[in-house]
Amino acid sequence: MRIRRAHTFRAVTWSVTATALASALSLGPVHATDLPCPQSKSRQKSADSCPTPSAGKPAAKKPAAKKPAAKKQAPRKPRPKKQVARKPRPKKQAAMKPGGGRPAGCPPCQSAPRKPATKKPGAKKPSTQRPPAQKLPAQKPPTQKPPTQKPPAKKPPAKKKQLKRGHGWSWQGLYIDAADLRKVNVFLARAKKAERTISPQMRSIARKTKATMVGFNERKRSPESVKRSVARDMQNNPTETVDDALDKIYNSVRYILQWPDASYVKGVKDSTKMLAKWKNANLRWSNTWARPRGYKGINTAWRANDSGHPYELQFHTPKSQAAQKRSSKLYEEAHHPRTTGSRRAQLQNQMNRNYASVPCPAGAQLLSAPRRRAMERPGVTTL
């Protein structure tokens, strides 16, 4: 019986402790507020019926006292206070909006980038202010691009060159049509090719006769000068063709050999013998040393044996060559189509004065052309 009583006593105590723990856990906040609850009666009855276990119950109530402390922090509601603190910030933005009427001028553009610096803590607000900062750089490049695209549109000179090639050549009243211009260009191309074989012969003559070559870099006449002479000849002789005018041009390739007065005659004779030996045919011989006025020197024209192209060879002394340089510009102006007769006479008198001081080497006026020989080439026959 004692054992049964002990077991029953233990069972009662365990049931009371269980009910006490359950009530403490579920009715913790009720004790904080000190409100009457019907469950309190059961607690009192259990305490009256079992005074012994109630003495050990306070130790079990300690965890319940700690939990309400954690729950007492919950009634602190800082969140609604934070929301109240956030509300004045949108009010400041509303105050800034009335100033947004400034975008008409430049100051709003400067105020827009400053706002994101003050509103960095907010993640939503700077996103609304970023697009205006991106629009400004997008508008600057188009202002710089147009100047780079304008220059290539200016190309009038290219059209002028095409007109000259397709519709002939013209210069200060002189004109050559397209068909005749093609023939002139072929003549110039042939002269350029022939110069490669003529120049070595002239250098060997100068070396063997101890002559100096003057103006060797200017041995090829300019294409514009050849076109002017052809157009001028056709204008002065309307019945003349382009082929006739080109046959008269001997100086498309030209050379100048110079000796002192004492060795001038011997140098001219030795050079002509060498040219005849190489089968170069003499086309023209003009000795002006016997003239009382005007140009002084010997101008000759030859046809190359290898290419069959004509070239000019001049024989001068140092003084006659100096007089020629002084009179070159006067000669060009005198033969200009727009030069008047009175001006041409003045230029001729000035050239005569330049050559009047040039002495004639002994025996130079007696020099004559070598004997001509027949030269047969395909399509070319010269006597």
Structure tokens at 247: 């046959």
From 129-143, 204-218, 240-254, 278-292, the region with the lowest mean pLDDT? 129-143
Name the CA radius of gyration of the chain, rounded.
60
Neighbours of 44 (CB within 10 A): 10
Give the confidence band of 33 by pLDDT, cuts at 50, 70, 90.
very low
For residue 15, the model assigns a pLDDT of 76
pLDDT of residue 355: 94
- The stretch 255-275 carries a mean pLDDT of 96
Predicted pLDDT of residue 3: 61
**What is the residue-averaged pLDDT of the chain?**
74
Mean local confidence (pLDDT), 114-132:
51
Collapsing DSSP states into helix, strand and coil, what is residue 155? coil
Element (H, E) at 255: strand 254-258
Check: CB of residue 280 under 8 Å from CB of residue 304.
yes
Give the pLDDT mean for 153-171.
57
Q: Confidence band (pLDDT; 50, 70, 90) for 17?
A: confident
Read off the tokens for 65.
């006292």
Please report the pLDDT score of residue 46 as a whole number. Answer: 44
Give residue 54's pLDDT.
Answer: 43
| Confidence label for 143 from pLDDT (cuts 50, 70 and 90) | low
Residue 154 phi, psi (nearest 5): -90, 95
pLDDT for the residue 86: 61
| pLDDT score of 41 | 46
- The Cα–Cα gap between 306 and 310 comes to 11
Lowest-confidence pick of 46-60, 169-183, 196-210, 256-270 = 46-60
Q: Give the residue-averaged pLDDT of 173-180.
A: 90
pLDDT over threshold 80, residue 79: no
pLDDT at 14 over 50: yes
Predicted local distance difference test score (pLDDT) of residue 142: 54
**Is 338 a residue whose pLDDT tops 90?**
no
